[in-house]
Amino acid sequence: MKLIDEEGRRLDGRRFDELRKIKIEAGVLHRAEGSCYLEWGGNKVVAAVYGPREAVPRHTQDPVKAVVNARYNMAAFSVDDRKKPGPDRRSREISKVTSEALERVIITDLFPRASIDVNIEILDAEAGTRCAGLTAAAVALADAGIPMRDIPVACAAGKIGAEVVDGEVKGGYVVLDLGKDEDNYGNADLPIAIAPRTDEILLLQMDGHLTYEEFEQALDLAMKGCHIVSKLQREALLNKYRPDLEENL
């Protein structure tokens, strides 16, 4: 499948360093303590936070800090072929690496024995759901008033358009934020999450084939993407709470 046209444009017309369209809304649910709705390209995600609350069952408690439980879940109707409801190996793995990434920025020692539960629901999926999910979860955490050192953010870069000639990989382009076909027919994907204040890497996964130089390029691009998305996260939170201030001055 041809992923780049003669003029160097991607299938959906994006430049190499261009993100898909992103929309973020904070505080959208009534019951949860913090929540977020996020659209990222064709992805639609809702995230909700409960806690800190006493962790149950008791054996899961840590006497010196809170445990962070992120739960990534895909709705049965969110994918092309209906997915059987409930967690599979893939969603368990994403839940684990997401929990670990979020735990790094949450100031957990303020809440010994507690759990902070972060629920991420993928309602519509189109490549890059783990980045969209983590980004939404971070907004929901801030919205819930959870103490954090930073608001984490995720984005992916990857490689598309390489050809195999005589067993050798030739060409290809490092691009930001793989879309659906780029994800399916591309050569490599590198999702990362960072703490944008320090650029510390909180999540990093990779699959496919990259040279070291391409990796550096992709990481740099993904970082840049993260900082753009980070701005949108902040705007969403400020939009939710700032009107209170300005209208009433």
Partner 1 sequence: MSIIPTLKKDYIYKLAKQGKRIDGRGFNEYRPITIEPGIIRKAEGSARVKIGNTQVVAGVKMDVGEPYPDTPDSGVITTSAELIPLASPDFEAGPPQEDAIELARVVDRGIREAEVVKLEELCIEPGEKIWIVFIDIHVIDYDGNLFDCASLASLAALYTAIVPAEKFDLGENYPLPMRGEPPISCTAAKFNNALVFDPLLDEEEVAEARLTVATDAKGDLHAMQKGLSGGFTVDEVKKIIKGAIVNGREIRKKLQESIEKVKQNDT
Partner 2 sequence: MQARKIVLPGEFLGETRSLKAGRGTFIEHGKIYAMILGIFERRGKLVQVIPIKGRYEPVEGDFVIGIIEEAMPSSWLVDINAPYPALLHVSETPWDIEFGDTEKYLKTGDSIMAKVLFIDVEKKLQLTLNDRNLYRIRGGHIIEVEPSKVPRIIGKKGSMINLIKRYTRCRIIVGQNGRIWLDGDDKSIAKVLMAIKLIEEESVSYGLTNKVENLLKMMT
Instruction: Identify which of residues 139 and 162 has a Cβ nearer to partner 2 in the complex.
Output: 139
CA-CA distances (angstroms) from residue 22 to 128, 132, 202, 226?
Answer: 12, 9, 21, 12
Q: Does position 189 bind partner 1 by CB under 8 A? A: no
Give the 3-state secondary structure of residue 19. coil
CA-CA distances (angstroms) from residue 169 to 3, 144, 184, 215, 217?
Answer: 16, 47, 17, 15, 17
Per CB under 8 A, contacts with partner 2 among 40-99 are 51-54, 63
Q: Does position 82 bind partner 1 by CB under 8 A? A: yes
Interacting partner of 209 out of partner 1, partner 2, none (Cβ under 5 to 8 A depending on kind):
none
Q: Does position 147 bind partner 2 by CB under 8 A? A: yes
Sign of the four-CA dihedral 203, 209, 212, 213: negative
Total length of the chain? 249
Interacting partner of 82 out of partner 2, partner 1, none (Cβ under 5 to 8 A depending on kind):
partner 1
HSE value, Cβ hemisphere, 13 Å, CA-based, for 23:
7
Task: List alpha helices for the chain, DSSP H.
Answer: 89-105, 129-143, 180-185, 212-247
DSSP designation for 179: -
Instruction: Identify which of residues 56 and 165 has a Cβ nearer to partner 1 in the complex.
Output: 56
Q: Does position 117 bind partner 1 by CB under 8 A? A: yes
Q: Tell me the closest approach of the beta carbon of residue 71 to partner 1, in angstroms.
A: 6
Q: Does position 89 bind partner 1 by CB under 8 A? A: no
Stretch that binds partner 1, among 29-37, 99-107, 164-172, 240-248 (CB under 8 A): 29-37
DSSP designation for 108: G
Q: How far apart are CA 237 and CA 14, in angstroms?
A: 27
Stretch that binds partner 2, among 75-83, 94-102, 103-111, 169-177 (CB under 8 A): 103-111
Instruction: Identify which of residues 53 and 224 has a Cβ nearer to partner 2 in the complex.
Output: 53
Instruction: Identify which of residues 71 and 159 has a Cβ nearer to partner 1 in the complex.
Output: 71
With CB under 8 A as the contact rule, the residue among 22, 32, 97, 236 that binds partner 1 is 32
Q: Tell me the closest approach of the beta carbon of residue 121 to partner 1, in angstroms.
A: 5
